[in-house]
Structure 1
Amino acid sequence: MIPEPSPSLCAALAADLDAAGYTSARLRALWGVVADEALGRGRALPVRRALARVDDAAATLARLFWLGDPVSSGELERALPRCGVAGLVALGLAREDAAGIVPLAVVRPQAFVDDAGAGEWWIASDLDEVALGGPIAPDHVLGVGGASMTLAGLQLPVPADRVLDLGTGCGIQALRARRAAEAVVATDVSEPALRFARLNALLNDVAGVQTRHGSLFEPVAGESFDRIVSNPPFVITPRATGVPAYEYRDGGLEGDDLVRAVVTGAGTHLSPGGTAQLLGNWEYRDGEDGLERVREWVALSPVALDAWVIERERLDPVAYAELWIRDGGTVPGSPGYDVLLSAWLDDFAARGVDEIGFGYILLRRPREGRPTLARYERVAQPVAERALGAHLAACLVAHDRQRALDDDGLAASVLQVADDVTEARHHLPGAADPSVIELRQGGGFSRTIPVDPALAALVGACDGELPVGRLIDAIAQLMEVDAAALREDLLPRVRDLLGDGLLRFAGS
């Protein structure tokens, strides 16, 4: 376990990393696109070959902190003149032995973009498979993975006083949350993870992050927050002898009970108007719809909550087991693979699990009154997950605004079509009129929505000038249909388009 990080040594290391140009862009330029793609597949050799041809500070740091290769003390002193070898050893990030300076952790640049602009952090975590050249330990502290970046991109870029990062790991969500929050409380059951989180906050000069040790909501009993974010250890793992329990992905509970616990417990720790965002898995048991299972969890919350649950994918038990067995470093054909696969399949069979869903859960405590949002949907198409936070926030605002309006109020509203919306019309050969009209969303969830000519005409006319009701009346006249009936047909669908972000209130 790394020692308690020294603020002065973290500041010195950060200054050295900055001076060395130890950035994502610089490293990709050093080893090239092909090697970078190979690295993403866990193949380090092309990067190692590329770095062998370069002798500068960034290359030295990449060999040490990205690939996990030893470097000489002379090379490292030149690369880290302020921190030095002694400082790095004191931080617990490296040690000296006969091979030279040997890394004890990875420290990697992580670029990001949010509503406040572009930036980059240096994130320290335990040595991974690339750096170790083999499997990781059960108490491994994970760095920044795909799920981490997904949740970071989902975080609402809305100002908040206090944010809870539940299960912080290396602290990436806490750093992201602090961009919009006055203070962040980061919890974890792993003390090594909390030390990495504190080190990463210091390394990136991010104040206002407090860490607490404990499971789930125990460290914050009786407290409330404006926002809760959590990338919990949601992986469904058999409770069987011989199955490794990795702390970063396995919460120690049966099936999907860990995600259930977060969902049912979040409401009592949210301030009125507060939101909780998490990633999770949920089981489909004996033909029961997995999204309905999540709906039942939300209903069990002691505090009534708005809910927006988005399922991104479903896997059968075999595919799910294979995914996480490989994640632990055991590949098909290796000793023990079939034993692990059998353990997973036995576990699923015991609960009648047919499939496993994965997705995003957004919960909100109403400021007053009863919940008004209950969206449980499947979004399978590719989306830009790293930029969804602003879209989610805008959709929530639009939902609240349109819910506050009756039909007359909505008809009196002036709307605009979102900038990323296009229209596609499909004609049968020789046909004058389209057989299919679609609205296509370029951002957000990249939705494709079939519409009829009347709704297409209304959306096309929403340019921020005239109220919806007058536009519907004009369309009814052109189509020679009853205006009242057309309004009754179109207004509910206008509400849906507002909630999906294809339409917006003028000036918003």
Structure 2
Amino acid sequence: MLPEPDLALCRALAADLTDAGFWSDALRAAWGDTADTAIARGLRSPAVRALGARRDPLAVLGRLFVLGMPQPRSSVTSALPRTGVDGLARLGLAVSVDDDVIPQAIIRPQSFADDRGAGQWWIASDLDEAALGAALPEDHVLGVGGASLTLAALQLPTRAARALDVGAGCGIQALRARRDVAHVVATDVSEAALRFTRLNALLNDVPDVETRRGSLFAPVEGEQFDRVVSNPPFVITPRADGVPAYEYRDGGMQGDDLVAAFVSGVGAHLAPGGVAQLLGNWESRPGEQGIDRARAWVAASPVPLDAWVVERESLDPLSYAELWIRDGGTLAGTPEFAALVDAWLDDFSARGVTEVGFGYVLLRRPAAGRPSLHRYERLTHALDPRTALGSHYAAALAAHDRLAALDDEALAASVLVVAADVTEARHHLPGVESPSVIELRQGGGFARTITVDPGLAALVGACDGDLPVGVLVEAIASLLEVDAVELRGELLPSVRELVFAGFLRFDD
């Protein structure tokens, strides 16, 4: 386990890393895009080959901290003149053996961009399986993975006073939350994880990150927060002998009970108007879809909550088992891998699980009144990883609240404009003048494609900020030679959906 991080040494290391140009773009340029992608898959050799015999500080630190390879003491001393090898040892990041410095942790630069601009962090975590040359230990503290980046990009980019990061791990969500929140409490069952969180906060000069040890909401009993964020240990793991229970992904409960406990319990820790965001898995069983189970968890909350649940993908039991067994570093084709697959399949079979869904959960405690947002949907198409979904979430919540305050008369009196990222596609059968399908396509947000009829297409096309919706509907009804009252009754619910989804916005 890391020693308690020392502020002065963290500042010295940060200065050394800065002087060495130890940033993600520089490393990618040093070993190339192919090698950079290979590292994410646990393959070091392409990067090693690309660096060759280079002994400059960037190459030395890339091998030591990103690839987890021992480096000559003299090279490390030269690359880290302020910190030195002894300083690394005091931080618990490396040890010196004879003339070599052997890494004890990974430090990887992580670039990010949000509404406040672009930046980079250095994120320290335990050595990965490539550096260890073996499967991960159960108390492994994970670095920044795909799920971590997804959740960081989902966080609302709006100001708040207090946030809670449940299951902090290496602290990436706490660092992201501090971009918009004044004070963050980060919790985890693992003291090792909390030490990495404290180290990473100091290394990146991010103050006001408080750590507490404990499971779920136990460390914050009786407290409320404006934001709660969690990439919880949601992976469904068999409770069976011989199955590793990795702390970073396994919460020690059966099936999807951990996510259920979070969803039903988080409301008590949300201040009025507070928002919780998390990633999770849910099981589908005969006669019960996973997303409907999530709906039941929200309903079970003693504090009524707004809810927006998006299922991004689903896997059959075998595919799910193989994914997470490989994640732990067990090689496919080995007897150990086959035994673990059997344990997973037995566990799923005992509950009749037919598939496992993965997705995003947003919960909000209404500032006043009863919940009005109940949205459960499947959006499984690919998204541009550069899309700022946090901003999209914030805009959608604001649109929902504004729409909830408008009756149909007020909506008809509103002036709307088409979002700049919206395009229209019309599909015609050969030789037929009128389109058989009209689609509205969204470039940002969830990149939705919505099929619309000619009346709605005409309304959207006419929303240029000049005339109210009701006036446009009357003009379209005249052109289509249909009853204006009936057309308005048909179009206004669709207008509400298009405003929420970001295709249309209020012009003010």
TM-score tier (shorter): over 0.9
Query: In the alignment, residue 252 of structure 1 is paired with which amino acid?
Result: G
Q: Could you tell me how far apart the structure 2 residues matched to 1:432 and 1:12 are? A: 70
Deviates more, 1:378-387 or 1:28-37: 378-387
Give the TM-score taking structure 1 as reference length. Answer: 0.99
**Is the CA contact 2:273–2:364 (under 8 Å) kept in the aligned structure 1?**
yes
Does 1:174 find its partner at 2:160? no
Query: In the alignment, residue 63 of structure 2 is paired with which amino acid?
Result: R
| 2:32 counterpart residue number | 32
Q: Could you tell me how far apart the structure 2 residues matched to 1:206 and 1:458 are? A: 48
Does 1:244 find its partner at 2:244? yes
| 1:121 counterpart residue number | 121
| Unpaired runs of at least 5, structure 1 | none
Does 1:11 find its partner at 2:8? no
CA RMSD of aligned residues (A): 0.9
How do 1:167-206 and structure 2 match up within 5 A? Answer: 167-206=167-206
Q: Secondary structure at the match of 2:335?
A: coil
| 1:495 counterpart residue number | 496
**Is the CA contact 1:110–1:121 (under 8 Å) kept in the aligned structure 2?**
yes
Deviations 1:123-162 (A, max 9, x none): 0000001222221110000000000000000001010100
Q: Secondary structure at the match of 1:336?
A: helix
Q: Could you tell me how far apart the structure 2 residues matched to 1:67 and 1:414 are? A: 56
| 2:285 counterpart residue number | 285
Percent of paired sites with the same residue: 67
Q: Could you tell me how far apart the structure 2 residues matched to 1:42 and 1:83 are? A: 28
Q: Could you tell me how far apart the structure 2 residues matched to 1:328 and 1:37 are? A: 19
Query: In the alignment, residue 166 of structure 1 is paired with which amino acid?
Result: V
Deviates more, 1:300-309 or 1:66-75: 66-75
Query: In the alignment, residue 393 of structure 2 is paired with which amino acid?
Result: L
Q: Secondary structure at the match of 2:369?
A: coil
| 2:108 counterpart residue number | 108
Query: In the alignment, residue 177 of structure 2 is paired with which amino acid?
Result: A
Query: In the alignment, residue 63 of structure 1 is paired with which amino acid?
Result: R
**Is the CA contact 1:66–1:131 (under 8 Å) kept in the aligned structure 2?**
no
**Is the CA contact 1:162–1:184 (under 8 Å) kept in the aligned structure 2?**
yes
**Is the CA contact 2:318–2:345 (under 8 Å) kept in the aligned structure 1?**
yes
Query: In the alignment, residue 470 of structure 2 is paired with which amino acid?
Result: G
| 1:151 counterpart residue number | 151
Q: Could you tell me how far apart the structure 2 residues matched to 1:304 and 1:283 are? A: 23
| Unpaired runs of at least 5, structure 2 | none
Deviations 1:409-441 (A, max 9, x none): 000001111111000001111111111100000
Query: Offset of 1:406 from its aligned partner?
Result: 0.3
Does 1:318 find its partner at 2:318? yes
Query: In the alignment, residue 204 of structure 1 is paired with which amino acid?
Result: N
Query: Offset of 1:265 from its aligned partner?
Result: 0.6
Query: In the alignment, residue 381 of structure 1 is paired with which amino acid?
Result: H
Q: Could you tell me how far apart the structure 2 residues matched to 1:385 and 1:177 are? A: 19
| 1:57 counterpart residue number | 57
Query: In the alignment, residue 201 of structure 1 is paired with which amino acid?
Result: A
**Is the CA contact 2:277–2:361 (under 8 Å) kept in the aligned structure 1?**
yes
Query: In the alignment, residue 220 of structure 1 is paired with which amino acid?
Result: V
Query: Offset of 1:41 from its aligned partner?
Result: 2.5
Query: Offset of 1:54 from its aligned partner?
Result: 2.1
Query: In the alignment, residue 487 of structure 1 is paired with which amino acid?
Result: R
Query: Offset of 1:53 from its aligned partner?
Result: 3.5
Query: Offset of 1:40 from its aligned partner?
Result: 2.7
Q: Could you tell me how far apart the structure 1 residues matched to 2:131 and 2:26 are? A: 20
**Is the CA contact 2:55–2:75 (under 8 Å) kept in the aligned structure 1?**
no
Give the TM-score taking structure 2 as reference length. Answer: 0.99
Query: In the alignment, residue 286 of structure 2 is paired with which amino acid?
Result: D
Query: Offset of 1:390 from its aligned partner?
Result: 0.2
Q: Could you tell me how far apart the structure 1 residues matched to 2:223 and 2:316 are? A: 39
| 1:223 counterpart residue number | 223
**Is the CA contact 2:234–2:250 (under 8 Å) kept in the aligned structure 1?**
yes
Deviates more, 1:384-393 or 1:468-477: 384-393
Query: In the alignment, residue 174 of structure 1 is paired with which amino acid?
Result: A
How do 1:460-475 and structure 2 match up within 5 A? Answer: 460-475=461-476
**Is the CA contact 2:162–2:227 (under 8 Å) kept in the aligned structure 1?**
yes
Q: Could you tell me how far apart the structure 2 residues matched to 1:385 and 1:294 are? A: 25
Q: Could you tell me how far apart the structure 2 residues matched to 1:300 and 1:327 are? A: 32
| 1:450 counterpart residue number | 451
Q: Could you tell me how far apart the structure 2 residues matched to 1:419 and 1:135 are? A: 48
Q: Secondary structure at the match of 2:222?
A: coil
Query: Offset of 1:99 from its aligned partner?
Result: 5.6
Does 1:410 find its partner at 2:411? yes
Q: Could you tell me how far apart the structure 2 residues matched to 1:366 and 1:11 are? A: 42
**Is the CA contact 1:70–1:99 (under 8 Å) kept in the aligned structure 2?**
no
Q: Could you tell me how far apart the structure 2 residues matched to 1:225 and 1:385 are? A: 29
